[in-house]
Amino acid sequence: MAYDPNNIFAKILRGEAPSFKVYEDDKTLAFMDVMPQADGHILVIPKFPAESLFDLDPDYMAAVALTTQKLAPAVKRAFKAPGIMVAQLNGAEAGQTVFHLHMHIIPRFNGVDMKLHARQLADFELLKQHAERIKAEIK
């Protein structure tokens, strides 16, 4: 499958679709997942048109990894989570639903099940509040 420049993450990067930004640098953007599997679920994407891990320029993969490493502790602190799940899916068969490479950072708690992936939109006011909580914890 060829990269689709009209996927929702490409539109977010171009400013054509709204998002609740948490962090941005010259190679990456992080924002709230609008269909979160748990409160505080964020996505980290490269500013590079890559459908999957197999298409991503290595410098951008390094940048995505560094941003993920920087933001995961902020999410953990903001939501007082004992654990953090980091996931990256490649291909529909693996569960990828938006075909622009992205990392999921999801707070995890014992005894709390995650919601199903990409099923239900969250309240946008709540996402805005969650984004501010995480931004306050970025060091």
CB burial class (10 A; 0-12, 13-18, 19+) of residue 115?
A: middle
- Judge whether 102 counts as a catalytic residue: yes
Distance of CA 14 to the CA centre of its chain: 16
* Coil, helix or strand at residue 71: helix
- The amino acid occupying position 107 is P
Residue ranges in the chain assigned as alpha helix (H): 8-13, 58-78, 124-137
Spatial contact of 50 and 99, defined as CB atoms under 8 Å apart: no
Distance of CA 39 to the CA centre of its chain: 13
Q: Which among 41, 100, 102, 130 is annotated as catalytic?
A: 102
Catalytic (active-site) positions: 102
